[in-house]
């Protein structure tokens, strides 16, 4: 292969080693994550290597190689970094993105296996590095294909990403959420008599208002949490809004997709008189997304079909309800126990 000026004597075996390391990335939770390997090469020698999650769950390979394993090692300066995935440009607020570690460690050149298909990152990592005077190189073609195969699961679902929201849109959503909750609180406080349900609902909402809205607009976990508070308070519309926001920040959030589907079903049941199949179709789509991301897909898939069966049954579409029931029966997780 031609790799031009190559003072650090990067060889094909180094690229292959990074892929080997990437394969060791442990699964982190119920969501697919990229498998990433990183190798730091200087004068033909590997001076540091790592994979995603090697130290610290979810910690990025580049960060581990350049910081956790190389803190205070002056030899890192001027070396080449080989990474299977484009380095990230943003992480949750308490963490520095990998491009920043690469810059401060004065890496000479970064060899990238593939761009990150996550639209929040794609191309930005490479651009940032170039703008900071760091050279960019690519993997040999055949190895690039290997990386795409290795991350097929991750890339498949990340490519279904909804358009992400700008930080301004996210801030607006926080304001909207505040307004919704304020209105609901006023409404609940106005009532002279509160049933047990309303009382606990109010508790949920007060809690949501006081605790969860003191949050960063881009914190997907908070949006998911608030969604479930609102859902439990039977405020399905606002719950759906919170879940929707969560999936737009983090498409891989299985719980938010599940909540979104469940909310659509409840909205549909509440408004069954104005019959339309659209919310149910949306609900099914959301539930299927959740199903794909869930670590216990059978269980979820079963409850999704049951929920759909209920909904169709309530609006008197027996034929469709029957189809859903059959699917649920076929997947019944208790089937084995009944024998
Ligand atoms: Zn990173």
Comparing 94-108, 175-189, 192-206, 287-301, the range with the smallest average pLDDT is 287-301
Residue 168 has pLDDT above 80, yes or no: yes
Higher pLDDT, 72 or 40: 40
Q: pLDDT-derived band of residue 59, with 50, 70 and 90 as boundaries?
A: very high
Distance 158 CA to ligand 1 centre (A): 16
Distance 117 CA to ligand 1 centre (A): 14
* Predicted local confidence at residue 14, as pLDDT: 98
Distance 63 CA to ligand 1 centre (A): 7
Distance 107 CA to ligand 1 centre (A): 15
138-154 pLDDT, tens digit each:
999 889 889 988 998 88
Would you say the pTM of this structure is higher than 0.85?
no
Distance 159 CA to ligand 1 centre (A): 19
Q: What is the DSSP letter of 334?
A: T
Distance 339 CA to ligand 1 centre (A): 49
Angle (CA) 243-246-250 rounded to 5° is 140
* Segment 71-86 mean pLDDT: 96
Out of 3.40.50.2300, 3.40.140.10, 3.40.50.300, 3.30.830.10, the CATH code matching 12-160 is 3.40.140.10
* Segment 112-141 mean pLDDT: 88
* Segment 290-314 mean pLDDT: 70
Residue span(s) of the chain under CATH 1.25.40.10 come to 167-331
- State the alpha helices, DSSP H only, in the chain: 12-22, 61-63, 98-104, 124-131, 141-150, 152-158, 167-190, 196-207, 220-232, 236-249, 254-270, 278-293, 297-314, 318-331, 335-338
Distance 262 CA to ligand 1 centre (A): 33
* Predicted local confidence at residue 163, as pLDDT: 61
Distance CA(257)–CA(291), nearest Å, equals 9
Dihedral sign computed on CA atoms, order 264, 268, 269, 271: positive
Distance 87 CA to ligand 1 centre (A): 5
How remote is the C-alpha of 33 from its chain's centroid?
8
Distance 282 CA to ligand 1 centre (A): 34
Residue span(s) of the chain under CATH 3.40.140.10 come to 12-160
Distance 89 CA to ligand 1 centre (A): 7
Distance 313 CA to ligand 1 centre (A): 48
Question: Edge-to-edge strand order for the sheet containing 45-51?
Answer: 45-51, 37-42, 80-85, 109-114, 135-138
Distance 143 CA to ligand 1 centre (A): 21
Give the CATH number of domain 167-331.
1.25.40.10
Higher pLDDT, 212 or 15: 15
């Amino acid at each position: 292969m031609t790799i031009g000026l190559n003072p650090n004597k990067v060889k094909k075996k180094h690229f292959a080693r990074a892929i080997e390391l990437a394969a060791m990335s442990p699964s982190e939770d119920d969501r697919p994550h990229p498998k990433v390997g990183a190798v730091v090469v200087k004068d033909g020698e590997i001076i540091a290597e790592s994979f995603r999650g090697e130290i610290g769950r979810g910690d990025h390979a580049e960060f581990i190689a350049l910081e956790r394993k190389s803190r205070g090692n002056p030899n890192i300066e001027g070396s080449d970094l080989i990474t299977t995935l484009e380095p990230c440009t943003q992480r949750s607020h308490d963490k520095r993105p990998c491009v920043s570690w690469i810059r401060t460690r004065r890496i000479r050149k970064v060899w990238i296996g593939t761009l990150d298909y996550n639209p929040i990152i794609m191309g930005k990592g490479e651009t940032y590095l170039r703008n900071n005077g760091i050279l960019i190189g690519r993997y040999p073609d055949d190895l690039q294909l290997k990386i795409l195969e290795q991350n097929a699961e991750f890339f498949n679902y990340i490519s279904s990403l909804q358009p992400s929201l700008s930080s301004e849109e996210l801030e607006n959503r926080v304001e909207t959420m505040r307004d919704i909750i304020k209105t609901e609180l006023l409404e609940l406080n106005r009532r002279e008599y509160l049933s047990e349900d309303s009382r606990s609902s109010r508790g949920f909402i007060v809690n949501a208002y006081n605790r969860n809205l003191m949050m960063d607009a881009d914190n997907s976990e908070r949006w998911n949490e608030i969604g479930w508070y609102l859902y439990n308070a039977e405020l399905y519309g606002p719950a759906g809004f919170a879940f929707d926001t969560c999936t737009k920040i983090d498409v891989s959030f299985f719980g938010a997709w599940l909540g979104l589907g469940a909310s659509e079903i409840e909205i549909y049941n509440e408004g069954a008189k104005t019959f339309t199949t659209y919310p149910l179709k949306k609900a099914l789509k959301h539930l299927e997304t959740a199903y794909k991301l869930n670590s216990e897909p059978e269980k979820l898939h079963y409850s999704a079909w049951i929920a759909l069966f209920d909904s169709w049954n309530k609006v008197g579409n027996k034929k469709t309800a029957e189809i859903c029931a059959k699917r649920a029966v076929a997947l019944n997780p208790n089937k084995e126990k009944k024998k």
